[in-house]
Amino acid sequence: MFENIIGQEPVVGRLSTEARAAILPPTLLFHGPDYAGKSSTALELARVLTCTGGDPSVPWACGCRGCLQQRHLLHPETLLLGGRYFSREIAVAATALKRDKRAPLRYLLERSVRKLTRRFDPVLWEGEEGRIRKVEPLLAELEELLSPYLPDGELPDDRRYAKGLDSVTAVCEKIAAVQPLDAVPVHVVRRLSHWSHLVASGPAKVAIIENIDRLHESARNALLKTLEEPPHGVYFVLTTQRRGAVMQTILSRARAYGFTTRDAAQSKAVIERIFRDAPMDSPSIRDYFISIDGRGLRPLAERFLESCLTGDDIELSLLDEIARTISSLGAGEGFRYFLEELGDLMRSVLRSGGGVSPRVLGVWRSELRRAAVRVEAYNVAASRALEGLYYTMRRTA
């Protein structure tokens, strides 16, 4: 078990021990930076808990029905909720499959896509089907486009191969834009609670909720009621980059597992083993993803920050260009990517002694978080949030 998780040995060792001893808590909180493997570890834990193969080591290649369904991310007793960097992950997986047609990369693409499509599981949206009616024809189109690239599919000929993968990523971007997946509606959480109380067909049921700190208050409160008295055999795996932003009442009901940033050697191993690619000179998973699917965000963030530091009026054309680039990645997702780039640049300026004090940096970080909440939780247009962020940063520089 966990043989595909690279660079998180303390967490993996602890989870393995607790799983074998059957002493896992009903609610687990995976906290740590992005690109650290929290989601991959959560999915692998779900496979371990739903395995019926009988081998105590629960190998990745286990042939039981549960493990087969989990490898394809189609297990009915595992639900996925919350937002993540869907478009970027799918684009990186598609690029890897263009380079290497072997089965591991076909699994990689399928799993990247399923992480998105499983957010629209009918179980979660029963009674509210009208809210996702726009996504249904897109999901059907995606299944048809994806089919040849699945591990057991017949790959298209060379002439159509890359074009078909581009179509997959394009439809996925449309799907990600239909519903703000970070802001999980309260009715979805209530459906999750109902599902958790249904009798399981196997040894366990697992709900994975990513970026738990981004849930609206009503959704958090609804989830809390379920976590207070979780049904037997049901596990809730919550993830967050910001443990301090998670409700204290949720923290008190979860056992925390801390993930750390992978070092250069571990990142290199992920890029080589998972994506079958040669890493850059100074690899990090985040930088690797940006290099594949950056869409020009870094230079736009540099121009934005330069305007804040110099006090010059920002060009409206720059705000429009940033907004268009963000939109191409899905509004919420793209805005988060831009804020990541901006935050990275701020840290670089501080380290280089570029005139930004730690106090100002702290204020700016707070403003980045506030801007993210406005877009992701309150559906404020990215262009408006950008303009507000610019004037706040300029005033406090």
Give the burial string for 259-278 (b: 16+ CB within 10 Å, else e): beebeeebbbbbbeebbebe
Q: Alpha-carbon distance 274 to 93, whole Å?
A: 10
Residue 133, SS3 per DSSP: coil
What SS3 class is residue 257? strand
Q: What is the pLDDT of residue 194?
A: 94
The sign of the CA dihedral 238, 242, 247, 253 is positive
The residue type at 89: E
Q: Are 28 and 257 in contact (CB under 8 A)?
A: yes
* Contacts within 8 Å (CB) and 24+ apart, 249-254: 249/224, 250/29, 250/212, 250/220, 250/223, 250/224, 251/29, 253/27, 253/224, 253/227, 253/228, 254/25, 254/27, 254/28, 254/29, 254/227
> What letter does residue 112 receive in the DSSP assignment?
H
In this prediction, residue 266 carries a pLDDT of 92
Nearest alpha-carbon partner for 351 in 366, 337, 341, 361: 361
Indicate the CATH number for domain 9-265.
3.40.50.300
Separation between Cα atoms, residue 205 and residue 196, nearest integer Å: 7
* Element housing 206 (H / E): strand 205-209
pLDDT along the chain (397 residues), means of 10: 91 95 96 92 96 89 94 96 88 93 95 96 90 92 96 92 95 85 87 92 94 88 91 95 89 95 90 87 76 74 85 74 76 76 80 70 86 78 86 84
Q: Beta 27-31 vs 255-258: how paired, if at all?
A: parallel
pLDDT at 94: 95
DSSP state, residue 31: E
Question: How many CA within 13 A on the CB side of residue 227?
Answer: 25
d(CA 252, CA 273): 37
Could you write out the DSSP letters of every residue in 356-374?
--HHHHHHHHHHHHHHHHH
CA–CA dist 78, 118 (Å, integer)? 9
pLDDT value of position 289? 83
Up-side HSE of residue 8: CA atoms within 13 Å toward CB? 27
Number of H helices, E strands in the chain: 18, 5
At 209, list the tokens. 């909720």
Domain limits of the chain? 9-265, 296-396
User: What Cα–Cα distance (Å) separates residue 198 from each residue in 115, 190, 202?
Assistant: 23, 13, 12
Q: Quick one: tokens of 133? A: 């009616």
H or E stretch at 235: strand 234-240
pLDDT at 227: 93
